[in-house]
Amino acid sequence: KGSGLGLGLDEEVKVSKKRQPVAKLDESRLLSQNGIPKLRRAAKAKLRFKGKGHEFSDAARLLNFYQLWLDDLFPRAKFADGLSIIEKLGHSRRLQTMRREWIDEEKPKSSMDTFEDS
Amino acid sequence: DGAVFGQNVQVVDPDVRAYVYSLVTALGGFNGEDADRYVLGDDALACLRDIKRWLKLYDEKNNRMDVARCLGESNLVNGDLIPILTLWGSSEKASRHMSRVALACLELLVPMTWPLEIHKEMTVNHARHMPYLQQVQVQYKKGLLSNASAGLLRTIIRIGLPSMAMPRSERTNRDEGILKLMLYLLRNVIIITPDTRLVAEGEEEETSRSRTINAFQEQDAFALLLTMCSNVGDDFSLQDVVLLEILFHIVKGINVEKLFMDDEQRSSKRTNELHDLLRQESSLRREYTKNAPTRHGRFGTMIWVKRDDAKVSTVSGQDVLKDGQATMQKMDQTKKWNKPLQRRRITEVTVNDDFTSPVSISSTALKNLRKFVEEFLDTGFNPLLTHVRKAIEREADRVVSINSRQYFYIVAWFLEVERARRDCQRKKHAKEGKRSKDIQPDSFGLVASVLNQETFVFLNRAMQYALDNKDWEDLTAEMRCFTQILLTVQEMALSPLEEDQEIAENIQSRIFYEETTHDRILSIIRGFKDQGFGYLDACTELAHVFLRMLERYSKMNTDMQVRSRRKARRKAKEDQLAGENEIVHASEDEDQEDTERVSRERKFDFTRFSARFCNQKCVDTFVAFTRNYKELDTQQLKRAHRYFYRIAFKQEMTVLLFRVDIINLFYRMIKGPGALEPSQPIFRDWEELVKQIIRRMVKKMEQRPALVTEMLFSKINATVFYLEYGHERQTISGI
């Protein structure tokens, strides 16, 4: 015991390897640049529908659009699984306020407000 | 030391085994010179009583199953008891001694066939013996049923006959006990079924429900049941609950519709079914061949899917060449990770659960059962069910908690039978070309005992109780019962008899008068969360039937009133405002006032009521139901269709359906892979509905780009209105 001069050099140091943290689909990932902001941009730029008479092809286009977006965002999960995770996240307070903001952005200034201003 | 672990473990104390075996040997046997004749041992009666004592004083007292196991191993039932009973049954003039022996046999048979259930207080000993005993019980049942010529059930009934013949007032406790034993044996025989988890050696057929029903018919067990049921109030009053149990286990899971088809219809239905199945299979195969590779498996195709930002994904296989949809499908399928499922609570399945899964029986058994069921409706239904309900309400000693579930299941099942029978008769008359005038219409008197106010009160209370205590199996039975009552009343209202119409009107007004009933239905349908398919089926059916009938009723009675019970808060507040100096008083009384409820009548508004079914939770319940679309039949698909139609086009709340997973489900239902069978008539309805919903969705998305994000989530109440109509809800109170 003396050889280590009491510095604790002889004692074995346990090295425990930490596991690589598993990527999660959570609020911050959903709200990051690759998340919903990208979805909104892409929808404005790309998502076009043919309208009446092409209902099912329109639906397919929409579903593919979401699937590819989700695959980029969180490649691990299958489409249905990813959707259910996101739906659950939507109940959190932070996302609810964000959602309301996104809707309010597109709202025309409501008639009540203008009435009060004048 | 090489010995297999546990090989030399004695599962039963050797002394116990030795004692039991020696008793069974001393009971009697087949004599050497006359080999097919069972000869009773000298002290047979004493042996039987000793064995009974062993069961009672060793097994029951120590909470073990050792003696039962030894008795199973020594083949007591099939080797001794059944031959003894046969001997007694075949003798013309039974001696007093032999009658006692027969009764002692019955006394042993009942505990040995008693249903074994997995429960919380099980010991290691139970867990060790139970699989063996379950299997050996199937052997007992086989033995009891297979001696068709001897008619063992008939012999057993004969043991009880002298006690039955006596008027109730003269019966002793012993007589009542004998009747109880006889009925419990019949019950046990029905309940025993081969466990699907254990190896069965061709016993499924010989111990099946069909075989049991046929034996009951041939050996007059049905006749006995009918006699007892129809005299429940007078001669038999303590037996009502056992009779109910027997009925429950006979009819649980049997399809009423099939019961009321004649052979021709049944066989044609069966060929139709076969036809349908074959067509289904061929369409499956067609779908497969459409996507199947046209070259060998190592042909090695690989394609790129170009994506944004100059990225690509690779997908292999020739099937992906076909179209974009297939490629996307494959990209999704090849992912390895699955979202971990929520761990389901482990439930103990007992013989009284699982009454929703269908059982199919042979055509002879169907015929026998139908005969019994019809006679039961004609004679025994009213007396038995009235008596049982009273017993349950009174909380009589013989009633156990499971009985109320059985009661509601039986009521529901027989009401359905009664409707099917009427339907059948009507068709028959129409076929024979009789004019409706010549037919004497039947009244609904045969089922009147479950259509009275007492039953409704009982049912309402039971539903509320089950809902509050989260007893889902009970609630399922009660919901089915309520649905059937509603359907029966509806049919009653269409009856040609004026009296029936009046009664139906009366019942409807009483059912729909209570607002608590409306609220309960709503909270049931909102409260679905992995309770299983049986529950889901029952609650969606109830909601469907209830809404439709209420709609019709409130249309006919334009100023329908309901009694609403609300908390008296508002009134209290008004009082407070009125006399401000009494604030101290008011706050003291607040607790009291809070619990106090005012009940008052108010006008019922159907549109407002049905609007309450338009929320995300109800939609989620129906979506969960529709997810099983491949297994649903036409009626169930129609039910889901009507609900979504109501949401989308009657209530104008399509926004609730605009969610990617719902749209995905709808799209898969129509366009596949794994779509509905396009030749089904219901397919057209669904296709049209889905098309309309998608059309609206596309329009909405162009109007309101914010929907792109909202498509991912359940909508918040605050934004639903804006998304649907494009402006905030205008409230008058604000101005």
Find out whether B705 and A43 touch, Cβ atoms under 8 Å. Answer: yes
CA angle A73, A74, A75 (to 5 degrees): 115
pLDDT (0 to 100) of residue B703: 87
pLDDT (0 to 100) of residue B583: 46
Pick among A62, A84, A93, A94 to test the B interface (most B CBs inside 10 A): A62
Q: Confidence band (pLDDT; 50, 70, 90) for A48?
A: confident
- Single out the residue of B509, B457, B472, B508 nearest to residue B487, CA to CA: B508
Cross-chain CB nearest to A96 (options B325, B659, B716): B716
Could you give the CA distance from residue A114 to residue B6 in angstroms, rounded to a whole number? 86
- Single out the residue of B41, B143, B24, B156 nearest to residue B88, CA to CA: B156
- Please give the ipTM for the structure prediction: 0.84
Q: Indicate yes or no: CB of B694 within 8 angstroms of CB of A42.
A: no
Q: How far is B427 from chain A (nearest CA, A)?
A: 42
Pick among B327, B687, B698 to test the A interface (most A CBs inside 10 A): B698
Cross-chain CB nearest to A81 (options B325, B339, B694): B339
Q: How far is A18 from chain B (nearest CA, A)?
A: 22
Mean pLDDT for the stretch of residues A27-47: 90
Question: How many beta carbons lie within 10 A of that of residue B374, not counting itself?
Answer: 15
Helices (H), B557-611: 569-578, 583-595, 606-611
Produce one character per residue of B643-669: b if its CB has 16 or more CB atoms within 10 Å, e if not.
bbbbbbeebebbbbbbbbbbbbbbbbb
Q: Which residues of chain B neighbour A23 with C-beta distances below 8 Å? A: none
**Cβ within 8 Å of residue B231, ≥6 positions away:** B383
Q: Angle, nearest 10°, between helix axes B209-218 and B363-375?
A: 50
- Single out the residue of B702, B592, B723 nearest to residue B657, CA to CA: B723
**Closest residue, chain B, to A90 (C-alpha):** B713
Strand partners, B312: B306
Is the bond into B83 cis (omega within 30 degrees of 0)? no
Cross-chain CB nearest to B709 (options A39, A63, A112): A39
Cross-chain CB nearest to B694 (options A58, A77, A112): A58
Q: Indicate yes or no: CB of A84 within 8 angstroms of CB of B660.
A: no
Parts of chain B with a pLDDT under 70: 1-9, 92-94, 147-149, 197-203, 263, 344-353, 434-441, 566-598, 729-735
Q: Which residues of chain B neighbour A63 with C-beta distances below 8 Å? A: 328, 660, 663-664, 667
Q: Indicate yes or no: CB of B728 within 8 angstroms of CB of A112.
A: yes
Cross-chain CB nearest to A76 (options B337, B704, B714): B337
Give the gyration radius of chain B's Cα atoms.
32
- Single out the residue of A34, A30, A79 nearest to residue B663, CA to CA: A79
Cα distances from B406 to residues B251, B376, B471, in angstroms, run: 11, 17, 14
Q: Angle, nearest 10°, between helix axes B402-432 and B453-468?
A: 130
- Single out the residue of B210, B208, B213, B214 nearest to residue B194, CA to CA: B208
Could you give the CA distance from residue B234 to residue B171 in angstroms, rounded to a whole number? 13
Q: Which residues of chain A neighbour B660 with C-beta distances below 8 Å? A: 62-63, 66, 83
Could you give the CA distance from residue B573 to residue B398 in angstroms, rounded to a whole number? 50
Q: Indicate yes or no: CB of B698 within 8 angstroms of CB of A58.
A: yes
Could you give the CA distance from residue A51 to residue A60 in angstroms, rounded to a whole number? 13
Give the largest CA-CA distance in chain B: 108
Q: How far is A81 from chain B (nearest CA, A)?
A: 6
Helices and strands in chain B: count of H runs, count of E runs: 34, 6
- Single out the residue of B693, B689, B610 nearest to residue B642, CA to CA: B689
Provide the number of CB pairs (under 8 Å) joining chain A to chain B. 128
Could you give the CA distance from residue B24 to residue B84 in angstroms, rounded to a whole number? 13
pLDDT (0 to 100) of residue A1: 47
- Residue that wins the pLDDT comparison between A85 and A11: A85
Strand partners, B563: B514, B601
Q: Angle, nearest 10°, between helix axes B381-394 and B402-432?
A: 160
Cα distances from B377 to residues B371, B411, B416, in angstroms, run: 10, 11, 11
Find out whether B372 and B217 touch, Cβ atoms under 8 Å. Answer: yes
Which bin fits B212, alpha (ψ -120 to 50), beta or left (φ > 0)? alpha
Pick among B308, B666, B702, B708 to test the A interface (most A CBs inside 10 A): B708
**Owner of token pair 């607790």:** B591
Find out whether A102 and A40 touch, Cβ atoms under 8 Å. Answer: yes
Q: Indicate yes or no: CB of B708 within 8 angstroms of CB of A80.
A: no
**Cβ within 8 Å of residue B597, ≥6 positions away:** B565, B566, B567, B568
pLDDT in tens, B134-173: 989 999 999 998 865 678 999 999 999 999 999 988 999 9
pLDDT (0 to 100) of residue B347: 63
Question: How many beta carbons lie within 10 A of that of residue B564, not counting itself?
Answer: 17
Produce one character per residue of A71-95: b if its CB has 16 or more CB atoms within 10 Å, e if not.
bbbbebbbbbbbbebbbebbeeeeb
Could you give the CA distance from residue B380 to residue B232 in angstroms, rounded to a whole number? 8
**Closest residue, chain A, to B701 (C-alpha):** A49
pLDDT (0 to 100) of residue A117: 42
Residue B187 burial (10 A CB sphere; 0-12, 13-18, 19+)? buried
- Single out the residue of B661, B599, B489 nearest to residue A88, CA to CA: B661
**Cβ within 8 Å of residue A39, ≥6 positions away:** A69, B708, B709
